[in-house]
A and B are shown apart, each in its own frame.
Chain A
């Protein structure tokens, strides 16, 4: 045990850059948490539904408190630490303080001490940080991980299937929230386990993690509460009364104020919602060398020969590269996605949940939160590949598709792609990325540039050529 680097990744077979999830470390928690605000602001209906579930649990508990049904409230507000996600702020190891019941008490105290909150309910569970002295960012992540556990289990199983991560059948998982019955249940699931201590691992999408929640106590103090204090200072000065300012900077004093004046919390939350576009997932935890990674990807790409035999290898290679280049703007990349009726199969589908202006433009202009990449491991792209991609584009998948292939397409193919654009209404657009362009993108990423800006220029080039 002592010879193992605690910072080593728990799943060594994949690189953090190339996957959609946060790879937990062997011996320490990553200083991150699930930020429910990233669910709230997402364009992905599933994420927004998860945020709603989180609020439903909370508001059901609040209703119980209002009806003086403290036993039900205590049951619903039961949020033990979910160590399986490997996130937290404990410096020394993987297990946190293990204060599930303490958290329950804190929530109940907060609610009983703030009738205005009980009356109003919560818009965001993060508001609890501003109303309780004992609830910090790590508790918000714990609450989220508990309520989202069913989603996290499903997500982990999907990612394990994609990346060929071994799982252990029948791993006991406790405290999964069943929303339909409003109960916590236990279950046995096929999950990856830690090679160190055999504990289950739950993977969390990179898109959902931040070092601090977007709505957080420190920011509240800096912004809304400072303004409140300034206003109070003026009031006292006009009345000739000197206030003991220091007494207000301690958290217990602050929460006393917020519990009495829930409007402060309300205003702050609204202002954070208005700035939602700036709420981006944290990436600082990725400490691998970006250039080394880019070089490795380039070499691996070159080693795959064109042809049908290597088509699957090429497809997964491209998925890794796209994750490296565009995550967390393009998330939940999945290969071999079949349509509901199973008749069509798309090579790679990403969810475009980006706040970058270009991806936002693509989402709105080409009608889709999904983005399709077709991988064609062939020397020369043929017309049938264009026709196939054009057929896939539409209401369900959006009207922008990207064909990733080995060589720059011929003039005839270019003209065919132009004709797809010209003959379709609403317009369908097919972009291509060849090996040389992929290498260029990897170099851009290595230099610290923006692959998204490169794609924007690539897109513009197509649109101006087709005029």
Chain B
């Protein structure tokens, strides 16, 4: 570092010796004319500016790449969520049909069971009861009480009427609970799909069409009646609602658009706080989780 000293002194002396209209070579101490000095300074700053410019351009390119990837992620999430939503709609229809079928079956067994407490049901009834149990378990998942109900295993002796009746009642109750579960799943998937579509259009306008600021009305125009996810358009001081790219840039879109229904999705600040906290305690973020 000591080698830098004289150069710096020399530069300083050059600056202090700049005189307007000074004649070169007439003084024992060389005096640099100011126009030459300005020219010299300008030549020195150019690489720095260019570096800065290229750094800025690199950052812009990186952001563009990142958003392009997010656009792809949002598009594939839209396709996936549409498939999932279709599947849930199918399950809902299946549940409705099963409830209707079970209602009839239950009524008949109930009638036949009167005075037949010890008599076994017929093989056809066992088969139908097992079909109903199997279908119900496919339609309604994560229901503790329905999970506990198992298909009948006749093993040579069919179950008696009361047993079938009690089990069918349990299945019926499970299907009733399943209605709310399916509605919840459907509504959650609807919300996710709206968000995914909103994000996808906002990103397209930004990345493809080059709009720096994406206004809510522009996205609404593209989505039509489907509606946009309002949460992505915070209002600024002037009352304009533009897409929150700052928020988007910090999110892992795949995880965000796959989050489970009851998940308390952490806010960015919370997440950062949490990570900072971990670092303070010398923990990796994943270690605490």
Contacts and interface: CB of A to CB of B under 8 A. Distances in A.
Interface stretch (A232-240, A285-293, A356-364): A356-364
B30 interface: no
Contacts of B151: 464, 467
B156 interface: yes
A359 B153 CA distance: 14
A463 interface: yes
Given A358-B155, A358-B156, A460-B155, 4 more contacts: A357-B156, A359-B156, A456-B156, A456-B157
Interface string A421-464: 00000000000000000000000000000000000100110011
B150 interface: yes
Contacts of B157: 357-358, 456
B103 interface: no
A155 to B, nearest CB: 29
B285 interface: no
Interface string A345-369: 0000000000011111110000000
B154 interface: yes
Contacts of A359: 156
Nearest to A463: B153
A160 B156 CA distance: 35
Contacts of A361: 154-156
26 contacts: A356-B156, A357-B156, A357-B157, A358-B155, A358-B156, A358-B157, A359-B156, A360-B156, A361-B154, A361-B155, A361-B156, A362-B155, A362-B156, A456-B156, A456-B157, A459-B153, A459-B155, A460-B153, A460-B155, A463-B153, A463-B155, A464-B150, A464-B151, A464-B153, A467-B150, A467-B151
Nearest to A365: B155
A198 to B, nearest CB: 47
B58 to A, nearest CB: 54
A358 to B, nearest CB: 4
A161 to B, nearest CB: 34
Nearest to B134: A467
Interface in B100-156: 150-151, 153-156
Contacts of A358: 155-157
A464 B150 CA distance: 6
A451 B155 CA distance: 14
A467 B150 CA distance: 7
Contacts of A464: 150-151, 153
Interface of B: 150-151, 153-157
Contacts of A467: 150-151
Which A-B residue pairs are the 5 nearest by beta carbons?
Answer: A357-B156, A361-B156, A358-B156, A464-B150, A463-B153
A456 B156 CA distance: 8
A30 to B, nearest CB: 32
Contacts of A463: 153, 155
B155 A456 contact: yes
B129 to A, nearest CB: 14
Contacts of A456: 155-157
Contacts of B150: 464, 467
A331 B155 CA distance: 20
B145 to A, nearest CB: 15
Residue of B151, B153, B154, B155 with most chain A CB atoms under a 10 A cut-off: B155
Nearest to A361: B156
Interface in A210-246: none
Interface in A302-356: 356
A357 B155 CA distance: 8
Contacts of A357: 156-157
A460 B155 CA distance: 7
A358 B154 CA distance: 9
A274 B157 CA distance: 21
Interface in A72-114: none
Nearest to A452: B156
Residue of B153, B154, B157 with most chain A CB atoms under a 10 A cut-off: B153
A195 B206 CA distance: 107
A456 B153 CA distance: 10
A356 B156 CA distance: 8
Nearest to B154: A361
A361 B152 CA distance: 14
A129 to B, nearest CB: 34
B127 to A, nearest CB: 14
Nearest to A464: B150
Residue of A359, A361, A460, A464 with most chain B CB atoms under a 10 A cut-off: A460
A360 B151 CA distance: 20
B133 to A, nearest CB: 9
Contacts of B156: 356-362, 456
B171 to A, nearest CB: 14
Contacts of B155: 358, 361-362, 456, 459-460, 463
Contacts of B154: 361
A358 B150 CA distance: 19
A220 B156 CA distance: 31
Contacts of A356: 156
Nearest to A458: B155
A459 B154 CA distance: 10
Nearest to B150: A464
Nearest to A356: B156
A357 B158 CA distance: 10
Nearest to A461: B153
